[in-house]
Amino acid sequence: MAAISETLKQQIWAEAGYRCEYCRTSARLVGMPLVIDHIFTVYCTGLTQLVQLVVLLSISEAKKF
């Protein structure tokens, strides 16, 4: 994965409300970590920009495909 700056990470977390952007569940509620991931993979021309990154529960990341 391309490097994500700390400033961009903070923007992503704040925009997501510190919840999974697919199921809207808080990591605190289910005890699972949240991860930042690309909507489209970098391999498929996914850029590392705010509009192309989402916060997901790790289990949601596995289901996104």
pLDDT in tens, 36-58: 887 766 656 656 777 678 888 87
pTM of the model: 0.68
8 A C-beta contact, residue 2 and residue 12: no
Q: Which segments within 1-65 are labelled E, that is strand?
A: 34-38, 53-57
pLDDT in tens, 4-24: 889 999 999 999 999 998 889
Phi, psi of 15 (to 5 degrees): -65, -35
